[in-house]
Amino acid sequence: MPDLILHHYPMSPYSELLRLALGIKGATWRSVIIPNIAPKPDLTPLTGGYRKTPVFQVGADIYCDTAIAIEAIETFQPEPSLFPAPLGRLAALVALQSGGTTFSQAVGSAMAPFIDRIDDEFFEDRKRLFGFDRERVRRGAPHLTAQFLGWLARIDDALSDGRAFLGGDAPGYADCAAGMNVWFQGNFGLKGSRTAPFPHVGAWIARVEAIGHGSPSDMTGQEALDVALGAEPMVAERVDEDSGFTAGQPVTVRTEDPGADVVEGKLARLTSRDVAILRDDPRVGTVAVHFPRIGQIVTPA
């Protein structure tokens, strides 16, 4: 099996989601640490400009966004499943919610007490990409905290029937996605105080964090580029007939974030579940860049 490569940085919550998923799998994987803000010179040749973290790589196939990276991890190492019964594929909907409004509430409420200690460069980068800035967090802190605590209360209710994990007896994608929000609070020393009123949440997140991250080993950015250069994309071409696009058509893909950069390439896949484009770069040759369909804007180039 080719190396599973994760481009990430330690305090990234979405990276923690994938690290936990790799832990559930007991996977052996390679760890490439990237900057937490742009530019990312050893990542851009792979992604074509996608700036969010993390990015998952298998050979010359590059997976942008955790939703599509989870599918790649499940494909390349099927057992144990990230979608265990009885929740099954409903885990993806739990993850979609956990990564939406609740994620913003988790991040904002965690950062708010420390807002003046976070450097300006970080906020300038996030403001360009998301419209997320220091004063907005400061003003919204009470509401963000109240909403995040409300979400924790709902998680506590879900766990009150004695289940070990959100989907039942076995951990899965839902636990990784919801868990990252609680984990991020811990980066700011708030996890204990936030979970204290919710004993089921406290016990659950302890079980989630005990899963660990599998067996990572360090890899440099250049080594990851060399892996891509020596491989061929494994993307299976498919463009849905009713999509309005054709295979091989030049397109751009960008996330719905207001400051997102566009990624250009030739369309290889466009379905209701995923998007993939082929693009060339002298440092990596031809790569397939994969995205989930939800959250992406695809337009003719």
What does the pLDDT read at residue 202?
Answer: 97
pTM of the model: 0.96
What does the pLDDT read at residue 155?
Answer: 98
- pLDDT averaged over 10-residue windows placed end to end, the chain, 301 residues: 95 98 98 96 97 97 98 98 98 97 95 90 87 87 96 98 97 98 95 97 98 98 98 97 97 95 97 98 98 98 95
Q: How many helices (H) and strands (E) does the chain have?
A: 11, 11
Instruction: For residue 168, list its beta bridge partners.
Output: 165
Q: Rg of the chain's alpha carbons, rounded to an integer? A: 19
Q: Tokens at residue 96, please? A: 């979609």
What does the pLDDT read at residue 112?
Answer: 92
What does the pLDDT read at residue 107?
Answer: 94
What does the pLDDT read at residue 132?
Answer: 79
* Residue spans per domain, the chain: 5-80+216-300, 88-210
Q: How many CB atoms lie within 10 A of CB 4?
A: 23
CATH number for the domain whose boundaries are 88-210: 1.20.1050.10
Q: Classify each residue of 8-35 as buried b or exposed e, where b means 16 or more C-beta atoms within 10 Å of its C-beta.
A: beeebbbbbbbbbbbbbbebebbbbebe
What does the pLDDT read at residue 153?
Answer: 98
What does the pLDDT read at residue 265?
Answer: 98
CATH classification for the domain delimited by 5-80+216-300, as one of 3.40.30.110, 3.10.20.440, 3.40.50.11030, 1.10.287.470: 3.40.30.110
